[in-house]
Structure 1
Amino acid sequence: MKIKELRDNAIQLLKDLIETPSFSSEEDKTALRIERWFQHYDMSYKRTVNNVWAVNKYFEEGKPTLLLNSHHDTVKPNNGYTKDPFKAIFEDEKLYGLGSNDAGGCLVSLMATFTYFYNKKDLAYNLVIVASAEEESSGANGLNSMLSVIPNIDVAIVGEPTLMHLAVAEKGLVVFDAKVKGTASHAAHPNTDNAIYNTIEVLQWFKDFKFEKTSKALGEVKMTVTQINAGQQHNAVPSEVDLVIDVRVNDCYSNKEIAEVLQKESLCDSIVPRSLRLNSSSISVEHPLVKAGIDLGRETYGSPTLSDQAVLTCPSLKLGPGDSTRSHTADEFIYLKEIEEGITIYIELLEKVL
């Protein structure tokens, strides 16, 4: 199969996806467009809710299975856009449009790569591709829902913009709701147990606290108080203050361990995690996929951003065209040369291990 044809068709697919709104849980129309790709190349596929997936033609039981995954949902456009977010605009070698960089370029590049290998026999790995939904919202009908549907996977490449460098680890996420309590009173009377004043010491604790273990790939656990709320009127001291704490977890800790530390050590009266399922992820630098990427001149690093890797339990590598710093920005774009390079590197990478 000619790579140039795959590249041209992948770019056209990306243009069509940009011009088809696909907010999380509303991806039905982009799923239909993705289905047409599989139909065009006469590849068997299935659809589960808005997830479109397929296995290679010569899938063999007993072989290890490699997942190729990226998502076709987007966030909503912000107010800073000067270009139509739902129009694929090509200017100065850039393709503009919502979802072009996060993660449309990755998705179409992986789809082209899967298509390239679909009919090949005697591969060392089975291939599964999932064009997944609800990644941006960590929704119930995203990749997490597919793990019991698709064949068991042994390793995964998750397509997110990394400039085609190898993100060998990714931070997990736990969001905590916490309370600092005090005594309610009228503002005109003395009160030595003002919940808002009590919060000063708590906030200082969160600012100063350091988790002991530092990751070589991901550095320290990063903990940030992101929201605070208390009181309803000027003359009443509230009985409690609500805090929200965002914790980005390195691969030295499980989310459960982070929760245990904070529930034991923090000065809050209560602190409760919203979810413990978005764990950190990693892959050994000795894994054949990583070694193959290094042989191709790609660098390794640890990623601070969350992706669908968080729902996987197998080793996973985050790798894709585009730049993470462009994600969720106004006038989002991807260079066409990045997509061309992405398809080439994906294919060269897999040829080394398949």
Structure 2
Amino acid sequence: MTIESNLYKKSIKILSDLIGFQTISGQDNSELINYCEKILNSLNIETFKVFDEDKKRVNLFGTLKAKKTNGKKPIILSGHTDVVPVSKGWSSDPFTATIKDNKLYGRGSCDMKGFIACTLAYAEIFKQSNLDRDIHFCYTFDEETACIGAPLLIKELKKRNIKDGICIIGEPTNMKIIDGHKGMNEYTIHFGGLAGHSSKPHKGVNAIEYASRYINKLLQIRQELIKRAPKDCIFDPPHSTLSIGGISGGIAHNVIADKCKVEWETRPFNKADADFVTSEMDKFVNEELLPNMKKVFPNSFIRKEIIGEVIGFEKLNESEACEFVTSITGDNSREVVSFGTEAGLFQEIGISTVVCGPGSIEQAHKIDEFIELNEIKKCLKFLDGVKEKSILN
């Protein structure tokens, strides 16, 4: 059996194992991280962990040191371990890998445990190679919920003076280069009013009604964002977006609702639009909504909970990371996307970053999520190229 065949089978085995860990965003991912760490440590790859406050969600960072440095920047192979929740309607168990028609089905197979599996399988090849640059393995938690985990890890990287290198984030791009995307800001707004009998609405403060007014303002601002779009905007849609994700509140038809919450997000293509949305909504709350609520009930409140504010991934004319990937794949094309990644966080601390990984984003977050097996092979071939660019001549 050839090395390539063994490596491919090993990747499929690891991916199947990874899918078996139900690492839905917000839940404990420590078992998966321990699994990954065991593989890396078995190769004497040094690792450290960065936990959340509850010590249940954790990032993992491993370093395979070069046998002799040759002035080359280290490579960071980065992926997130969390997956989105599962909806009803799957044709197979979403947490059991199923292979059919040259596709591997399972939650996270595409987004993005396929890439993580390839890097773990290839770690042994890197270990056996005469490396002249460090190879880092970076696995984060809760990317799907406003990139909560990665900032904690990056803070630790800065402490350890790991602020240079080439970062390859293996989000599903069909192994195409992505060099830009919008930011992603997520908020939950909590409204507190005064309950009462619905027959006397003037004596209460209906949190749902004020939440509705808040949403109407968001929809007005969404139209303003469309008007603010520059003529040369490179994204689709070619403007910053705003979306309402959920609203909940109230206990009965005949009770004035004293609690309500609204969940929403904006994906700004630049900081100016992000600041515009924030300032307009804060002004509306502080000058109109809250004063009217407090006239009836002084203890009324509107509280903004920041779920995450993730900066965008800035498209640069010159990118060492993009050039590195191109030198391996031979593909000079570059694209931008509207979905978010952790790329901007690495870019912000001076690490040249590119998004490039196996699978198609069209399969992400869907019922019967899958990755084509050929994409695994393409990713392994790409890692072969990374190795060839990282060994002593």
- Taking structure 2 as the reference length, the TM-score comes to 0.72
RMSD over aligned CA atoms reads 3.9
Judged with a 3 Å threshold, the aligned counterparts in structure 2 of structure 1 residues 5 and 234 are, in CA distance, closer, same or farther, namely: closer
Does 2:293 align with 1:269?
no
Q: What is the count of residue pairs matched by the alignment?
A: 350
Cα offset, 1:103, TM superposition: 0.9
Partner Cα distance (1:238, 1:86) in 2:
39
Deviations 1:142-183, CA, capped at 9 Å, x for gaps? 333222444513342111111111121122221245589999
Give the partner amino acid of 1:12. K
User: For residues 21-40 of structure 1, what are the structure 2 equivalents within 5 Å?
Assistant: 21-24=22-25, 25-40=27-42
Report the counterpart of residue 260 of structure 1 in structure 2: 279
Report the counterpart of residue 380 of structure 2 in structure 1: 343
Deviations 1:254-292, CA, capped at 9 Å, x for gaps? 855642354358996368461553111235242133134
Judged with a 3 Å threshold, the aligned counterparts in structure 2 of structure 1 residues 287 and 232 are, in CA distance, closer, same or farther, namely: same
Does 2:281 align with 1:249?
no
Give the partner amino acid of 2:118. S
Judged with a 3 Å threshold, the aligned counterparts in structure 2 of structure 1 residues 269 and 351 are, in CA distance, closer, same or farther, namely: farther
Contact map agreement 1:284 1:290 (CA 8 A) in 2 = no
- Taking structure 1 as the reference length, the TM-score comes to 0.79
Does 2:340 align with 1:325?
no
User: For residues 1-354 of structure 1, what are the structure 2 equivalents within 5 Å?
Assistant: 2-24=3-25, 25-40=27-42, 42-48=43-49, 50-58=58-66, 64-121=73-130, 123=132, 125-137=133-145, 142-150=149-157, 151=160, 152-154=162-164, 155-177=166-188, 195=209, 202=217, 205-210=220-225, 212-214=228-230, 215-217=233-235, 219-228=238-247, 234=253, 243-251=262-270, 253=272, 255-256=274-275, 258-260=277-279, 262-264=281-283, 269=289, 272=304, 274-275=306-307, 277-294=309-326, 296-297=330-331, 299-309=333-343, 311-312=345-346, 313=348, 314-348=351-385, 351=388
Task: Give structure 1 stretches of 5+ with no counterpart.
Answer: none
Task: Give structure 2 stretches of 5+ with no counterpart.
Answer: 52-57, 291-301
Cα offset, 1:84, TM superposition: 1.2
Q: Secondary structure at the match of 1:209?
A: helix
Q: Which moved more, 1:11-20 or 1:297-306?
A: 297-306
Partner Cα distance (1:238, 1:19) in 2:
42
Give the partner amino acid of 2:322. V
Judged with a 3 Å threshold, the aligned counterparts in structure 2 of structure 1 residues 58 and 241 are, in CA distance, closer, same or farther, namely: closer
Cα offset, 1:242, TM superposition: 5.6
Deviations 1:238-261, CA, capped at 9 Å, x for gaps? 799864432012145485564235
Partner Cα distance (1:292, 1:98) in 2:
30
Judged with a 3 Å threshold, the aligned counterparts in structure 2 of structure 1 residues 322 and 78 are, in CA distance, closer, same or farther, namely: same
Contact map agreement 2:82 2:143 (CA 8 A) in 1 = yes
Structure with bigger helix share is 2
Contact map agreement 1:143 1:308 (CA 8 A) in 2 = yes
Q: Secondary structure at the match of 1:80?
A: coil
